[in-house]
Copies of this chain bind each other. A is one copy, B any other.
């Protein structure tokens, strides 16, 4: 039997947000590869080998998956959310560069954090929007600042992944300053932590009241556009611009 790789999105956390397509891949796998907390979400069973690894070793992990598939294993590389959004799919294709042959590869989409968060909040991404990874591990900080200013000028709603981590305590504070300057103090900003898990926490404030401590590694942050508003407990961005 020939090996394959599926790069699968486990969604934000809840079991009922995992697609049947991903469930079927997990059921057919011999090996699960991924970041420790994501591999921990996969149910163990006899014959299934788990290969949890630490953060920031995405390329090593992708190469390991390719080697196992070449040896005939059926490998699922797990990501949280969707594998194509700041996750393992790109890393796998980077690892493919320069290789002579490739196994069968499928990318299996999942519910990405910003859309799970948006659903819980209302519909803050209901008009044109952008998604920006605020980590400067893999790109210069100046590029992040440039993108924030251009996205504000375009009046995009914005979803921010990886807003804050222990290794970058200052970055998100600077992001909030730039956004206040570019979007004004009244703009709505939502902090959605651990959506669909028992630790879920949602909070929406005006930019003037936003502080860096409102975000951590499990938070996705959503900034409204200039028309984003509240109705009852909800936050939404109208579909139309007059």
Which positions in A face B, CB cutoff 8 Å? 11, 14-21, 24, 58, 82-87, 89-94, 96-97, 102, 105, 107-112, 115-116, 118-120, 122-133, 138-140, 143, 146-147, 150-151, 153-156, 231-232, 234, 236-241
Q: Looking at chain A's contact residues, is the secondary structure mostly helix, strand, loop, or mixed?
A: mixed
The 8 Å CB contact of A58, one of B130, B237, B239, is: B239
The 8 Å CB contact of A19, one of B84, B111, B231, is: B111
Q: Which residue of B lies closest to A140 (CB)?
A: B241
A119-B84 contact, Cβ under 8 Å, with A130-B151, A131-B129: yes
Starting from the known contacts A147-B154, A150-B151, 14 additional A-B residue pairs (CB-CB under 8 Å) come to A11-B19, A16-B19, A18-B19, A84-B124, A84-B126, A85-B125, A89-B123, A89-B126, A89-B236, A93-B126, A130-B130, A130-B154, A130-B156, A131-B131
Most buried by B among A130, A133, A146, A238: A130
A126-B21 contact, Cβ under 8 Å, with A146-B154, A239-B94: no
Most buried by B among A11, A18, A82, A90: A90
Using Cβ atoms and an 8 Å threshold, which residues of chain B touch A86? 126-127, 239
A97-B231 contact, Cβ under 8 Å, with A109-B17, A115-B82, A241-B143: yes
The 8 Å CB contact of A84, one of B20, B115, B143, is: B115
The 8 Å CB contact of A90, one of B11, B127, B150, is: B127
B130 contacts A91, C-beta separation under 8 Å: no
A147 contacts B126, C-beta separation under 8 Å: no
Q: Which residue of B lies closest to A20 (CB)?
A: B16
A239 contacts B90, C-beta separation under 8 Å: yes
CA distance A120 to B105 in the complex (A): 10
Using Cβ atoms and an 8 Å threshold, which residues of chain B touch A58? 239
B128 contacts A93, C-beta separation under 8 Å: no
With both chains docked as a complex, state the minimum distance between the C-beta of A70 and any C-beta of chain B, in angstroms.
Answer: 14
CA distance A239 to B169 in the complex (A): 22
With both chains docked as a complex, state the minimum distance between the C-beta of A112 and any C-beta of chain B, in angstroms.
Answer: 6
With both chains docked as a complex, state the minimum distance between the C-beta of A147 and any C-beta of chain B, in angstroms.
Answer: 5
Q: Which residue of B lies closest to A89 (CB)?
A: B123
Using Cβ atoms and an 8 Å threshold, which residues of chain B touch A115? 82, 84-85, 109, 112
Q: Which residue of B lies closest to A116 (CB)?
A: B109
Q: Which residue of B lies closest to A59 (CB)?
A: B239
